[in-house]
Amino acid sequence: MKYIIGIGGVTNGGKTTLTRRLLKSLPASCVVHQDDFYKPQDQIEVGEDGFKQWDVITAIDMDSMVNTVKAWLENPVKFARSHGVNVSSNPGETQILIVEGFLLYNNKMMADLCTHRYYVTIPASECKKRRSSRNYTIPDPPGLFEGHVWPMYLKHKKEMEDSSVEVVYLDGLKSKDELFNQVYEEIQNKLLNCS
């Protein structure tokens, strides 16, 4: 059996932390991070708001990301080994790919590939607080959060909801343990019910 678990949602919501814990806890699992598919900086457009448009789907090479996920689907064992993950090649063993990113479900092909879809949300105030405490290679210019990051998040969340993608919403204000336990238990239950 092959499962693709999507961990999507708001920037700085805890997606990567949750993904890392799931990766350690789920045997025979690999990960694909959407951040690894950003286009080069010189290909990122500047919007009407004057900011580089990092928070839009066109900033990401989604074709390449989808193809990477399809490569995993074709041969999870080969994919895992090429990514330094040692998995057994027992036929019938469950293989799991975790796909993590802030715009997973705004691409129909990517959304359709996910067998389980989770979406982390936090309020704007908490998001701004967490984002301001992180060190980015290119620091946020003043006004970026209010003028671009949060409005883009709301726009993309609405687009996702309007396209009727079914997701399980996760409250990013819960503790890391609560979030992990909720998702891990749901996945374990689904795996047991499908085997």
β-strand partners of 33: 100
What pLDDT sits at residue 100? 97
What pLDDT sits at residue 175? 95
pTM metric for this prediction:
0.91
What pLDDT sits at residue 83? 75
Tokens at 62, concatenated: 């989604």
pLDDT tens across the length of the chain (195 residues):
889 999 999 999 999 999 999 999 998 789 999 999 999 989 998 888 778 888 889 999 999 999 999 999 998 888 888 877 776 667 677 889 999 999 999 999 999 999 999 999 999 999 999 988 887 777 778 888 898 889 999 999 999 999 999 999 999 999 999 999 999 999 998 877 765
CATH classification of 2-190 is 3.40.50.300, yes or no?
yes
Q: What is the DSSP string of the chain?
A: -EEEEEEEESTTSSHHHHHHHHHHHSTTEEEEEGGGGBPPGGGSPB-TTSSB-TTSGGGB-HHHHHHHHHHHHH-HHHHHHHTT------TT--EEEEEE-TTGGGSHHHHHH-SEEEEEE--HHHHHHHHHTS--SSPPPTTHIIIIIHHHHHHHHHHHHHTT---EEEETTS-HHHHHHHHHHHHHHHHHHH-
Q: Which residue out of 35, 63, 112, 171 is catalytically annotated? A: 35
What pLDDT sits at residue 194? 66
What pLDDT sits at residue 88? 65
What pLDDT sits at residue 74? 93
Any catalytic annotation for residue 35?
yes
What pLDDT sits at residue 93? 78
CA distance 110 to 108: 5
Place of tokens 């057994």: 88
What pLDDT sits at residue 122? 97
What pLDDT sits at residue 72? 93
